[in-house]
Amino acid sequence: MSSYTRKPSHELFPTKGPVKSSQLIGRADELASLVSQLIAGNHQILVGPRRTGKTSVCDAAIAQLRTKKAYVVSVDLFAVETLAVLAELIALRAISNRPAVKKVLPALRRASIRVGQAAQMSATLKHEFGTDIEFAFTPLRSQKTASDQFDYSLNLLEKLAVADGRPIVLYLDEFQEIEAAGHRFGDPDLITKKMRAILQRSPHVTCVFAGSIEHMMRELFASKTRAMYQFGGFFTLSPISNDAWVDGLRKFYQADKTSITDAALALLLETSGGAARATMLLAQQSHVAAVEKGTFTVDATEVFQGIDYAMGAEQPAHESEIVRIRGMRAHALTIAQRIARAEPPYGAKLDAKQVGRALESLRNAGLAVQVKAGEWQLVDPLFRRYLERFSSF
């Protein structure tokens, strides 16, 4: 054993961004169902709080669709600044499904060439791109406004699908950004009307929209006055089951020749409430504790230590959440603390209107969700733990 090198905890239990398909715990049924809905051409809307595994599942679905010969186009709107860039990314990622383009992409990336500039690039690259440039980029560049470019890119999808005889799946993550404050993509009504009109006449294009701010996603897709009303079916991710966590976590520990006791698993899952990222973070930090101690068994002691480490690692994030809550409505912090301590929010010595507004801003920020009438929960169990103990005086 002495020559054995322990596997890095953050590789066994990744917590930064979506996990690889091979590291998905649970979700097998949901993944299969998402894939078959998309193959059947049914647009899907995936709504759920942050860090519950939406992107991981969608990425896995997209990877499967790719192996089934579908063309796929994924864009995370968090990472996109303007409508013009969105239009470019859609065109680039669409055309990148063609093998000839895929081949030159690394060169493009190395040269940091944006799609818009692709039409003007070097003769060699142009030669390699061949007709794809004429198909996608030259016309895109000739559009005068960002809105026309977006129009062009969306229309390009159906054109490409028909030309190449492939269905296309368009996956837009964090779609609520379309109407986030500041409207950086322009008027949300205009954009969504355009999307609906174009996608409606694109029978070979199927969409999956994911979003983490539930009320915004519902407003976009379930409100009668909105252009995307009933555009697709809502796809709900259930919590990952206890059994799936137990199997999955055991397997990941095993990959480092490590075992975890039943008591330790129970403690870990009770603390994380089965929330996806929190569970992975606690598993990761408990592994850190085990490695530090040189043991290959994770017991409750290592989990307690793991919880402390995790709270320490999250402290800067928790502190900035407090600052964010303080910047919201008056009393939002008081109300958040009441929720954290499982006290009824309306029991505070505040009038109902103030409590209502505070709850609304916590919900709008994606921090709290209503479980049933009068009952609220903080989305992140570790932040709940922090707030529970946090003293504002």
Ligand X SMILES: Nc1ncnc2c1ncn2[C@@H]1O[C@H](COP(=O)(O)OP(=O)(O)O)[C@@H](O)[C@H]1O
| Joined tokens for residue 270 | 């009770």
Q: Are 269 and 301 in contact (CB under 8 A)?
A: no
Of 191 and 240, the one with the shorter C-beta distance to ligand X is 240
C-beta of 174: minimal distance to ligand X in Å?
8
Task: Note whether 306 binds ligand X by CB under 6 A.
Answer: no
Residue 198 to residue 194: CA distance in whole angstroms:
6
Of 23 and 297, the one with the shorter C-beta distance to ligand X is 23
Residue 313 to residue 303: CA distance in whole angstroms:
15
In this chain, which of 17, 41, 203, 347 binds ligand X, going by CB under 6 A?
17
Stretch that binds ligand X, among 47-55, 77-85, 124-132, 151-159 (CB under 6 A): 47-55
Of 53 and 306, the one with the shorter C-beta distance to Mg ion is 53
Stretch that binds ligand X, among 12-20, 68-76, 143-151, 265-273 (CB under 6 A): 12-20
Q: Which residue is nearest to Mg ion (CB)?
A: 55
Task: Note whether 287 binds ligand X by CB under 6 A.
Answer: no
Name residues whose C-beta falls within 8 Å of residue 276's C-beta, 6 or more positions apart in sequence.
Answer: 51, 52, 53, 240
| Joined tokens for residue 1 | 């054993």
Stretch that binds ligand X, among 44-52, 89-97, 149-157, 266-274 (CB under 6 A): 44-52
Signed CA dihedral, 277, 46, 164, 197: sign only: negative
Under rule CB under 6 A, how many of the chain's residues touch ligand X?
A: 24
17 binds, among Mg ion, ligand X, none (CB under 5 to 8 A by kind): ligand X
Q: If phi over 0 gives left and psi between -120 and 50 gives alpha, with beta otherwise, what is residue 230?
A: left
Subset of 223-252 contacting ligand X (CB under 6 A): 240
Of 15 and 334, the one with the shorter C-beta distance to ligand X is 15
In this chain, which of 62, 195, 217, 280 binds ligand X, going by CB under 6 A?
280
C-beta of 326: minimal distance to ligand X in Å?
24
Task: Give the angle 18-24-29 at the CA atoms, nearest 5°.
Answer: 120
**73: β partners:** 170
Task: Note whether 25 binds ligand X by CB under 6 A.
Answer: yes
Task: Note whether 80 binds ligand X by CB under 6 A.
Answer: no
Q: Are 378 and 384 in contact (CB under 8 A)?
A: yes
Stretch that binds ligand X, among 17-25, 37-45, 86-94, 199-207 (CB under 6 A): 17-25
Q: If phi over 0 gives left and psi between -120 and 50 gives alpha, with beta otherwise, what is residue 129?
A: alpha
211 binds, among ligand X, Mg ion, none (CB under 5 to 8 A by kind): none
Question: DSSP string covering 93-147, please?
Answer: HHHTTSHHHHHHHHHHHHTT--HHHHTTS-HHHHHHHTHHIIIIIHHHHH--SHH
Summarize as ranges the residues that interact with ligand X (CB under 6 A).
14-19, 23-27, 48, 50-56, 212, 240, 276-277, 280
